[in-house]
Amino acid sequence: MSTSTTASVSTHILDTSVGRPAGGVAVQLSARAGRTADWQALGGSATDADGRCKDLPAPPEGTTHVRLDFAVEPYFEKSANQRADAQQDAPANRDSGAGVFFPEVAITFAVVPGEHYHVPLLLNPFGYSVYRGS
């Protein structure tokens, strides 16, 4: 929860290749105070069956930037058979030379105290998109 001196962050992931939430994805949260400051790892969580992280740590007072690191490779490896059924015409590993084209997704954004930031990740095997939600 945000206070007048801190921000708060939440996220969820939708696997757009199958039109379902992406459960079981590890998410790490880091913060820094200023553009040139070092990142401080604050901890993390994993998405639930609804694709949501409900228990990310709160950034400390003075945070100006937050980074969410999503470990998506294990999710894609685990759900490969489910996706293959849903994507009958999309060849697996097309042009990537690897099992997963984007094994990690790192999203960095600026924050101000007192604001809540909900940052959804729309994910598929060959791309992703993020936005500031509500």
Q: What CATH number did the domain enclosing 21 receive? A: 2.60.40.180
Q: Is residue 131 a part of any domain in this protein?
A: no
pLDDT computed for residue 49 by the predictor: 96
Report the number of distinct structural domains present in the chain.
1
Q: Is residue 28 a part of any domain in this protein?
A: yes
Q: Is residue 13 a part of any domain in this protein?
A: yes
CA 14 to chain CA centroid, Å, is: 10
Residue with tokens 């639930």: 48
With cut-offs at 50, 70 and 90, classify the pLDDT of residue 3: confident
Q: Is residue 16 a part of any domain in this protein?
A: yes
Q: What is the pLDDT of residues 52-98, one digit of tens each?
A: 998 999 999 999 999 999 999 999 988 776 555 555 555 554 544 55
Q: Is residue 102 a part of any domain in this protein?
A: yes
Q: Is residue 79 a part of any domain in this protein?
A: yes
pLDDT computed for residue 32 by the predictor: 97
Give the gyration radius of the chain's Cα atoms. Answer: 16
Q: Is residue 75 a part of any domain in this protein?
A: yes
Give me the domain span that covers residue 36: 8-86+95-126
In one-letter notation, the amino acid at residue 23 is G
pLDDT computed for residue 88 by the predictor: 53
pTM given for the model = 0.85
Q: Which own/partner contact pairs does 29-33 have at CB distance under 8 Å and 24+ positions apart?
A: 29/56, 29/57, 29/59, 29/66, 29/67, 29/68, 29/69, 30/66, 30/67, 30/69, 31/59, 31/60, 31/63, 31/65, 31/66, 31/67, 32/63, 32/64, 32/65, 32/67, 33/60, 33/62, 33/63, 33/64
Q: Is residue 133 a part of any domain in this protein?
A: no
Q: What is the pLDDT of residues 30-57, one digit of tens each?
A: 999 999 999 999 999 999 999 999 899 9
